[in-house]
């Protein structure tokens, strides 16, 4: 994560959202929405999402950053909302919060 809150990812990919980005990309997110804390306790992921948006927030998970699966829907913001996932013991799992 960069100081401005943007995330840089690297890996064996050639495109991100259909845009050519071979092996390196900078993800631009909405600064009004993000994860404030994430921890793993006894194999269970626990996270807090902070939202300044007046919209429902969808939590999605992915094993490869390409295919995203709905994990749950959170109430309208602005709010600090927590969620947990007992499947956090899988080898690799990514999460994102998306305004709907």
- pLDDT beyond 70 at 87: no
Q: Give percent of the chain with pLDDT exceeding 70.
A: 79
36 lies in the same domain as 20: no
The total number of structural domains that make up the chain: 2
11 lies in the same domain as 43: no
23 lies in the same domain as 39: no
pLDDT computed for residue 93 by the predictor: 78
Say whether the peptide bond before residue 75 is cis (omega within 30 degrees of 0). Answer: no
Residue in this structure with the two tokens 């994990």, named with its chain if needed: 71
Q: Rounded to whole angstroms, how far apart are CA atoms 32 and 49?
A: 10
**What does DSSP assign to residue 89?**
T
22 lies in the same domain as 37: no
pTM of full prediction above 0.85: no
24 lies in the same domain as 38: no
Q: Rounded to whole angstroms, how far apart are CA atoms 100 and 76?
A: 10
pLDDT tens digits along 38-78: 777 777 777 777 777 777 888 888 888 788 888 777 766 66
Quick count: other Cβ atoms within 10 Å of Cβ 63? 13
Q: Give percent of the chain with pLDDT exceeding 90.
A: 0
56 lies in the same domain as 22: no
What is the domain extent for residue 1?
Answer: 1-29
């Amino acid at each position: 994560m960069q100081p401005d809150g943007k995330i840089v990812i690297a890996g064996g990919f050639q495109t991100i959202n259909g845009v050519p980005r071979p092996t390196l990309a900078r993800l631009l997110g909405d600064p009004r929405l993000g994860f404030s804390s994430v921890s793993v306790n006894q194999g269970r992921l626990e996270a807090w999402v902070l939202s300044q948006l007046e919209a429902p927030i969808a939590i999605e998970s992915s094993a490869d950053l390409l295919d995203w699966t709905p994990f749950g829907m959170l109430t309208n913001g602005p709010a600090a909302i927590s969620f947990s996932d007992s499947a956090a013991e899988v080898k690799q799992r990514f999460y994102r919060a998306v305004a709907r």
